[in-house]
Amino acid sequence: MMEMLLDVGKKAVEHAKRLGAEEAEAFLYTENFVDVKLVGGIFASRGGVLKGVMGALARVAEPWIKRRGIPMVKGGMRAGVGVRAIVRKAVGFSSTSSLEEKDVLKAVEEAVKIAKVRPPDPKWASLPEPKEPLGQGGIFDERIQGLEAEGMLKLCADCCAAAGDFDRRVTYTVAGVRALSVYAGVVNTRGVEASDRGTAFLAFVYVKAKSGTDETSGSDLIISRTFTENLQGIAVNASQRAVECLGRKPLQGKHVGTVIFENRSWGELSSVILASSISALNVQEDRSAYKGRIGEQIAYEGVSVVDDGIMPDGIFTSKADDEGVPRQRTSVIEKGILKGFIYDNYSAKREDRESTGNASRWKFLGAPPYANPPTVRPSNLLLTPGRGSLDDLISEVKDGVLVKGELMGAWHSNVITGDFSVTATNAFRVKDGGVAYPLRPCTVAGNFHEALRSVTAIGGDPKWFVNVRCPSLIVENVVVST
Amino acid sequence: MDMQIEDLMEKAIKYALKLGARFVEVKGEDTVTGEIETVNKEVRTVSEAHNVGIGVRVFYGKGSGFSFSNILDEENVLKTVEAAVKIAKASAKRALIKPMLAYAKAVEGGRSISVNKHPREVALDEKKDMCVRQCEVAMGRDERIANVRSRFGEYHGTIYYANSEGARAFYEPILVGLGVSCVAKRGDVIVDARDGYGGSFGLSAFEEEGHTPEKMAENAADWAVEKLEAKPAPAGRFDALINSDLAGILAHESFGHLSEADFVAMGASPLTGRMGQKLGADIVTIIDEGVPKEGGYWIPFDDEGVPCSRVEILKDGILSSYLHSRETAHRLKMSPTGNARSQDYSFEPIVRMRNTYFKAGDWKLDEALKDLKRGIYAIDSAGGQTEFTGDFLFKAVRGYWVEEGELKYPLRDVALTGNILELLKNVEAICDDIEIRSGPFGGCGKWDQRAFVGDGGPHIRIRNVLFGGAK
């Protein structure tokens, strides 16, 4: 498969040269996936949707019902090519959802055509040069390639059952599993010929619980390069989260002060704001608060952040990035001091330095990678863990708020200023080292960069959220209101 | 090419029926997405993406399955049909309910709208110039403007639809958008602001007063500079006046999603079982439609071949309709509304909105503002999110603190939160200045799919909204 991709890539860049491109690059991509969701896995028995005879039947047949719902299943292969052609510092990009030779050559022609008519980018230097990879690439789990809809539906069904068995007040569950195997390659006219493959396994559970008029929700997820059959853990977690929030109370007035962020919650904010702020391109273009601050203390001394593109189990690990530059390990923040930024080829050459292997074409909810030109993005962003569990962190807090799970609105944070204002639907009042009571959905507002400076403790419980691995932590000076 | 896609779709339908499918539908696509990005007058990205393929959905017994192919030859299309049938057989074993489709008259023929200066007929240079002009104007506006980014985007082509009930149709979607964002700096203070315009029209729309590249650039630059002096919004409950953009987010994110009948049929939505109930103030009407006259994204029929009808979800405060696919319409014994949509040929249709907006009222903006005694005028959105509990959050990127109807001082980004079912009861004034917008950047996300949508409304005044300021 990888040889086939590189062959197509070589033909593409040769064709571009023939058409007058000075440089050219082809990014080849295939993705095989099966995506399964089982929706409403237990509502039928408890939510009161099915009435009369059906309802009675449903109660009798509860264990049977629990393992059924509305299945949403799809699968297929996405494949395509993205071509960059350069004529006198003008970069043309064209892509097509096909790896057939005639379509690929047509995309090449379009890219060259664009390069010839668009104005140059004075900051363009050249495509990357070939380099030996530093890592072995990430794990490729053969089991994932072999997964089929039927087995995956059973996993979802077991999840729904486990979530429902946890507590009678759970009224509704959704479970989803996605198995993905990717083959990708990059070829350019400077001699880069890089290819790699990878697998991903994603599972999520979303649960609603009801007691009286109070209706709560909880969720959990797994993102991994390897297959795991045991999804009971996330099912139970999701249900526990929803159930422990029942009986929510409003906050008495506004809380300004200590907030404990669970690993996943802080990971979500980091995946948006930190990821954007450390991009060299954003720094160069005045879209980062970290501009001109290398060497400065920008965070609490316990905060260290590394971008690691070569760890075998990282979800974005590969031998090379999306323009063929070897992935590497880059120190971003060391003991609170800003050490450096992450670069792709373009941003690196603007500063006459080496790329850190952080070119990415991946987009959250949108076109597949081949349809996007590369830009700077973290590979696997790791916040170094400290010590202790979430409970240990809670035991240190006299008067505070604990924020768990998903943060609504994290994706809409201001990535330039670092201002965030999110709604936490799984939040708790913390008093004298323990959880006092669950809170009604509350708004949690602050500034990410100021928050990093006011961290007082970091837990030893790192968890993955997309491409960020982050422990729970305690932050001061955050505003919470309900 | 066109004949080829339609021929292959025909073959796919015949083959699926032969394999025992009780229903099959095929979406064909041949579209182009284009984007130009300029930063500080320099052209950074010029890109285009061709998206060609077909998607096949089959119903087999109690199951349904979906697969797709971007290789358009007979062998691969037939393989795709086999894959979809295999998936349908597997899902049949886990299905609680047999999916059935409500009746829809088989759609036929082609649909398109005529636009002035269709993007495929306008030279790259002219599009690029709009972006460069935006950068020039914004950078020249004030020395505190540190960075300007302008983006132009376009989407057009042909979407085909065919099913085993005889539907054979196509339409030609079109969407363009132009946006500019400015970063302003003063010492350590960094702020940003933006303006943009988009919808299903040609490039002549950017020649109209108020929507020229220059005007948008001036707005974005002025707003960014103004924000340098802005104070953080106070946290707490205040009366609010929100503009069209925020009204759109409220209509779409906070309310629209809850009216999607797949969530209702599963019992996930808080609107489940509440048809005919009074959920909002008398003056509140929320509409979702495919072809609004006020602008937005033009969609003549959905990805199940159902014409996009005008749906009054909330009519004079009363819940009057859900948004349906053929499947949810059958399950809830209602009529399909043309709300089954997929991101592209490689996704199955799910219940989605089209253009969702608050119907205009009769208040004048200055009157609505005059009666705001102490509160926040919140403007333009950076997006929003909602939970199935009705709890929502959306973010205003600009705003003013208001006392006795007077704008006192500008505010930084601020989040508005609450429960939509409480908020709709607190709407006290709806203005007459409706706008509906769309664009090729962003769009709406549901499950793993993105869709182009439009949203909007007029200025709306609401009592007692929770603002989550930073101070």
Is residue A231 located within the same domain as residue A315? no
Q: Tell me which of B144, B417, B422, B449 to substitute to probe the interface with A (most A C-beta atoms closer than 10 Å).
A: B417
The pLDDT assigned to A60 comes to: 46
Is residue A227 located within the same domain as residue A259? no
- A197-233 pLDDT, tens digit per residue, is 999 999 999 998 989 888 899 999 999 999 999 999 9
State yes or no: pLDDT of A45 exceeds 80: no
Chosen domain end from A243, A271, A295: A243
Enter the ipTM.
0.90
State yes or no: pLDDT of B194 exceeds 60: yes
Q: Looking at the domain assignment, is residue A343 inside a domain?
A: yes
Chosen domain end from A212, A243, A274: A243
Q: Tell me which of B1, B73, B89, B91 to substitute to probe the interface with A (most A C-beta atoms closer than 10 Å).
A: B91
Is residue A171 located within the same domain as residue A276? no
CATH homologous superfamily, domain B119-155+174-228: PmbA/TldD superfamily (3.30.2290.10)
- What separation in angstroms does the CA of A48 have from each of A44, A54, A166, A171? 7, 10, 19, 9
Is residue A414 located within the same domain as residue A344? yes
Residue given tokens 């609401």 in the structure block:
B462
Q: Do A73 and B87 touch (CB under 8 A)?
A: yes
Distance of alpha carbon A198 from alpha carbon A183, whole angstroms = 7
State yes or no: pLDDT of A43 exceeds 70: no
Q: Looking at the domain assignment, is residue A396 inside a domain?
A: yes
Q: Looking at the domain assignment, is residue A248 inside a domain?
A: no
Is residue A235 located within the same domain as residue A333? no
- CATH number of the domain located at residue range(s) B2-34+41-111 in this protein: 3.30.2290.10
Q: Looking at the domain assignment, is residue A18 inside a domain?
A: yes
Q: Do B266 and A208 touch (CB under 8 A)?
A: no
Judged by average pLDDT, the poorest of A41-55, A329-343, B368-382 is: A41-55
Q: What percent of chain A lies above the pLDDT cut of 90?
A: 80
Across A275-302, average pLDDT: 97
The pLDDT assigned to B142 comes to: 97
- A361-420 pLDDT, tens digit per residue, is 998 777 899 999 999 999 999 999 999 999 999 999 999 999 999 898 898 899 999 989
The pLDDT assigned to B418 comes to: 86
Q: What percent of chain A lies above the pLDDT cut of 70?
A: 94
Distance of alpha carbon A141 from alpha carbon A151, whole angstroms = 16
Which CATH number characterizes residue A233's domain? 3.30.2290.10
- A143-157 pLDDT, tens digit per residue, is 999 999 999 999 999
Q: Do B45 and A93 touch (CB under 8 A)?
A: yes
Q: Do B393 and A117 touch (CB under 8 A)?
A: no
Q: Which of residues 390-429 of A touch B (CB under 8 A)?
A: 408-409, 411-412, 414, 416-417, 419, 421-423, 425
3-state secondary structure of B229: coil
3-state secondary structure of B70: coil
Chain A residues whose beta carbon lies within 8 Å of the beta carbon of residue B31: none
3-state secondary structure of B65: strand
Distance of alpha carbon A458 from alpha carbon A385, whole angstroms = 6
- A15-26 pLDDT, tens digit per residue, is 999 999 999 999
Chain A residues whose beta carbon lies within 8 Å of the beta carbon of residue B220: none
Distance of alpha carbon A309 from alpha carbon A318, whole angstroms = 7
Q: Looking at the domain assignment, is residue A169 inside a domain?
A: yes
Distance of alpha carbon A435 from alpha carbon A426, whole angstroms = 12
* Per-residue H/E/C for chain A: CHHHHHHHHHHHHHHHHHCCCCEEEEEEEEEEEEEEEEECCCHHHHCCCCCHHHHHHHHHCHHHHHCCEEEEEEEEEEEEEEEEEEECCEEEEEEECCCCHHHHHHHHHHHHHHHHHCCCCCCCCCCCCCCCCCCCCCCCCHHHHCCCHHHHHHHHHHHHHHHHHHCCCEEEEEEEEEEEEEEEEEEECCCCEEEEEEEEEEEEEEEEEEECCEEEEEEEEEEECCCCCCCHHHHHHHHHHHHHCCCCECCCCCEEEEEEECHHHHHHHHHHHHHHHCEHHHHHCCCCCCCCCCCCECCCCCCCEEEECCCCCCCCCCCECCCCCECCEEEEEECCEECCCECCHHHHHHCCCCCCCCEECCCCCCCCHHHCCCEECCCCEEECCCCCCHHHHHHCCCEEEEEEEEEECHHHCCCCCCEEEEEEEEEEEEECCEEEEEECCEEEEEEHHHHHHCEEEECCCCEEECCEEECCEEEEEEEEEC
Confidence of residue A66 (pLDDT cuts 50, 70, 90): low
The pLDDT assigned to A52 comes to: 41
State yes or no: pLDDT of B470 exceeds 90: no
Comparing C-alpha atoms, which of A236, A42, A25 is closest to residue A130? A25
Distance of alpha carbon B26 from alpha carbon B81, whole angstroms = 10
The pLDDT assigned to A215 comes to: 86
The pLDDT assigned to A40 comes to: 72
- Residue span of the structural domain in which A129 resides: 2-243
- A163-176 pLDDT, tens digit per residue, is 988 998 998 889 99
State yes or no: pLDDT of B259 exceeds 50: yes
Is residue A260 located within the same domain as residue A210? no
Across B24-50, average pLDDT: 96
The pLDDT assigned to A33 comes to: 93
Contacts of A163 (CB under 8 A, 6+ apart): A41, A42, A170, A173, A175, A205, A207, A235, A236, A238, A239
State yes or no: pLDDT of A65 exceeds 70: no
Confidence of residue A47 (pLDDT cuts 50, 70, 90): very low
Is residue A31 located within the same domain as residue A163? yes
According to the per-residue pLDDT averaged within each range, which of A38-52, A121-135, B387-401 is highest?
A121-135
Is residue A294 located within the same domain as residue A401? yes
Is residue A309 located within the same domain as residue A201? no
Chain A residues whose beta carbon lies within 8 Å of the beta carbon of residue B38: none
Distance of alpha carbon A64 from alpha carbon B332, whole angstroms = 23
The pLDDT assigned to A41 comes to: 60
* pTM of structure: 0.93
The pLDDT assigned to A339 comes to: 98
The alpha carbon of residue B282 is apart from the nearest alpha carbon of chain A, in Å, by: 25
State yes or no: pLDDT of A50 exceeds 50: no
Work out how many CB contacts closer than 8 A connect A with B: 268
Is residue A341 located within the same domain as residue A303? yes
- Domain count for chain A: 2
Across B408-423, average pLDDT: 90
Q: Do A96 and B83 touch (CB under 8 A)?
A: no
Contacts of A286 (CB under 8 A, 6+ apart): B146, B147, B183, B185, B190
- B432-455 pLDDT, tens digit per residue, is 999 999 999 978 888 889 999 999
Q: Looking at the domain assignment, is residue A223 inside a domain?
A: yes
Across A36-57, average pLDDT: 52
Q: Where in chain B is the domain with CATH 3.30.2290.10?
A: 2-34+41-111, 119-155+174-228
Paired strand residues for A87: A90
Judged by average pLDDT, the poorest of A225-234, A260-269, B231-240 is: B231-240
Comparing C-alpha atoms, which of B217, B245, B34, B8 is closest to residue B128? B34
The alpha carbon of residue B300 is apart from the nearest alpha carbon of chain A, in Å, by: 23
Q: Do A98 and B389 touch (CB under 8 A)?
A: no
Interhelix angle A101-117/B124-141, rounded to 10 degrees, is 50
Q: Looking at the domain assignment, is residue A292 inside a domain?
A: yes
Is residue A136 located within the same domain as residue A165? yes
Q: Looking at the domain assignment, is residue A55 inside a domain?
A: yes
- Single-letter amino acid code for the residue at B19: L
Is residue A308 located within the same domain as residue A183? no
